[in-house]
Amino acid sequence: MKEQGVQVSVTRDTFRLAQVFTISRGSRSEAEVLTVRISDGGVTGWGECVPYARYDETLDSVSAQIEALPGQFDRAGLYDLLPAGAARNAVDCALWDLEAKRAGKRVWELAGLPAPGPEVTAYTLSLDTPEKMRAQAAEHAHRPLLKIKLGTPDDMPRLEAVRDGAPDARIIIDANEGWSAAIYADLAPHLQRLGVALVEQPLPAGEDEALRGMARPVPVCADESCHDRASLPGLAGKYDVVNIKLDKTGGLTEALALRQEATRQGYRIMVGCMVGSSLAMAPAVLVAQGAMVTDLDGPLLLAEDREEHLQYDAAGVHPPAASLWG
């Protein structure tokens, strides 16, 4: 579908977090996002992205990418106009929303996908002292899946504390590139002993060759090492799972294509997110259908959300209502 003379606007929105959120790279107390609206013929679609400093993105740089788009483009043409990343994500998702509203259909119908259902999502515990992480784990022990942010040389006491606080929860770990090969090799047997279901990006993306041929008693997931389909050739022999995030793939279009190709190549699927609002999570719920791990807890970490927001309950995160997106 060709977009003739569409109007594109970019706004900055800030959402307060329910509590300070810490990973190995630093702490934050709010989520800063970009909201893109694309209007044509009286119909407006919208999408959200979260620029990420790890990938040399800022609110200013991503806004500039979007504002530099020509007055006429379509989803297929975005591959030539924008690289994979936050800018293309927000525009791609806004175009999907626009197309769905024009057609009077849901996005999954347009994409030829089955109607989605709820998916159990991880809930992320912030990096802290072992005592505070034990308390966090105990507070959320009723949740079926907890994600622990680690990535320091002193992680074992934290992991032991979380397992003590939530003895029955399924646990996954995100090291955020914070370990060396030696640290990971030392920790791996303990991860298995403590019933960890998955470890995400244990080594820096540029130094993950050490994973090739290394024993992986717990499945290892590529996050920073996997952005889009072009990343897949470099993952063979190192990873078992790929983490698909729309802010990395550059939108729903590439996320669905990456999921299909990664599955064909034998990888299991994790669908993750940056810390954003329900608008950012909504398209990812479609990608998360049947995934090994769904990690779309961004709105659960916020003190405030979009006026229309996703539903979270014991069944997990539900697909978006049309009044939110898609």
Instruction: Tell me the per-residue pLDDT of 94-109, one tens digit each, with 9 for 90 and over.
Output: 999 999 999 999 999 9
pLDDT at residue 1 is higher than 70: no
pLDDT bracket for residue 4 (50, 70, 90):
low
For residues 88 and 99, the answer to whether their CB atoms sit within 8 Å is: no
Mean pLDDT of the chain: 94
pLDDT of residue 282: 98
Residue 56: exposure state from Cβ atoms within 10 A (0-12, 13-18, ≥19): exposed
pTM of the entire predicted model: 0.94
Given pLDDT bands bounded at 50, 70 and 90, which one contains residue 24? Answer: low
Mean pLDDT to the nearest integer, 123-145: 93
Q: What would the mean pLDDT of 59-72 be, rounded to a whole number?
A: 96
- pLDDT, residue 225, reads 97
Q: Which of 68-72, 153-157, 262-266 comes out lowest in average pLDDT?
A: 153-157
Tokens matching residue 187: 């920790």
| Pick from 3-7, 207-211, 231-235: least confident | 3-7
| Mean pLDDT, rounded, for 82-101 | 98
pLDDT at 3: 44
Instruction: Look at residue 232 and tell me whether its pLDDT is greater than 70.
Output: yes
